[in-house]
Amino acid sequence: MRARVKFAKTGIMRYVGHLDLMRFFQKAVKRSNLPIKYSEGFNPHQIMSFAAPLGVGLTSEGEYMDIDLKEKVDAAMALEVLNKNMVEGLEITGFKYLPDDAEKCMSAVTAASYIVTYKDLKDDACYIDNITDLKAKFFDEAHAINIVKKTKKGERELDLKPLIYRFNISIEDKVPVYDLLLSSGSTDNIKPELVVKAFHEFLGLPEFDDLSLDIKRVDMFTGEPDNFVSLGEIGDEH
């Protein structure tokens, strides 16, 4: 049976990359003595998979990993013992058993939500008084948001508009805070930096630096735009 583990990655753990995090979890699961299933062969490995990787520098309240277990254990106990094997900045926030027909988290992801703000409270974007009106022009009233996306193979034109499901701005202490829901997963994976960059270009701000943003992933979703379901809502504790 398959369990879905939800966790938060915050604080200084933002500097730990995805591969390193996977290795950390393999050892944490092993230390927890959960009856995890192993693959066959000379180098057996735990049957474990992660939803969309989180880039170095980002934090998240909604990360997911699926693990296959040989037998059911009490979900509350599993959550507790896993938490004993975490470090500062990693916290297990959910443990649910998936129905048999549930898609693996890795392929199930279709969207992700983010809260994005600026590390530097004096970023150029903090001085645009009518930024919310301009946002409406950029997003709500636009038919298309055409950008050039750089890929490994070169550059390609892309219309962001249908891939942005929510784009709100609030101002907190004079600093814009973006609330985004973006297409995610194996096709049309849209990073929040890309959206904010396009907005900066629309605003006519000088050169944009990805590292100027403080990005937190809030949650990941599966399903279609009119009916997104959080990966953490699937399954139950029994």
Partner 1 sequence: MKKLALPDDILMQIDKPARYIGNEFNSVKKNPADVDIRFAMCFPDVYEVGMSHLGIAILYDMLNKREDTYCERVYSPWPDLHNLMKERNIPLFALESQNAIKDFDFIGMTLQYEMCYTNILQILDLAGVALESKDRENDDPIVVVGGPCATNPEPIADFVDIVYVGEGETSYGALLDLYKECRKSGFNRQEFLRKACHIPGIYVPCLYEVGYKESDGTLEYFRPLYDDVPAVIDRQVVTDMDSSSYPTKMLIPFVRAIQDRVVLEIQRGCIRGCRFCQAGMIYRPNREKSVDVLKAQAKELLASTGHEEISLSSLSSSDYHALGELMDFLIDDCLSEGVNVSLPSLRIDAFSLDVMSKVQDVRKSSITFAPEAGSQRMRNVINKGLTVEDIIGGATLAFKGGWNKVKFYFMLGLPTETDEDMKAIPQLANEVAAAYYETVPKDQRQGRCQITISTSFFVPKPFTPFQWAPMYEAGEYLRRAKVVNDEMKAQLNQKSLKYNWHHSDVTVLEGVFARGDRRLCPAILDAYKSGCFFDAWGEYFDFDKWLAAFEKNNISIDYYAYRQRELDELLPWDFINCHVTKEFLKREWNNAMAAKVTPNCKMACSGCGSAKIGSGVCHNAR
Chain positions contacting partner 1, by CB under 8 A: 10-13, 15-17, 19-21, 23-24, 26-31, 36, 38, 41-46, 56-57, 85, 87-89, 119, 211
Least CB distance to partner 1 at residue 214 (A): 9
Cβ atoms of 70 and 226 within 8 Å: the answer is: no
Take residue 63 and report the two structure tokens written for it: 């990360």
Q: Which of 134, 137, 118, 114 is nearest to 190 (CA)?
A: 114
Least CB distance to partner 1 at residue 175 (A): 16
Nearer to partner 1, 88 or 155 (CB): 88
Nearer to partner 1, 19 or 148 (CB): 19
Take residue 127 and report the two structure tokens written for it: 């001085």
Nearer to partner 1, 118 or 139 (CB): 118
Q: Which of 101, 39, 36 is nearest to 69 (CA)?
A: 36
Nearer to partner 1, 36 or 229 (CB): 36
Least CB distance to partner 1 at residue 154 (A): 26
Least CB distance to partner 1 at residue 33 (A): 8
What are the phi and psi torsion angles at 92 (to 5°)? -80, 125
Which residues face 215 on adjacent strands? 116
From CA 182, how far away is CA 164, in angstroms rounded?
5
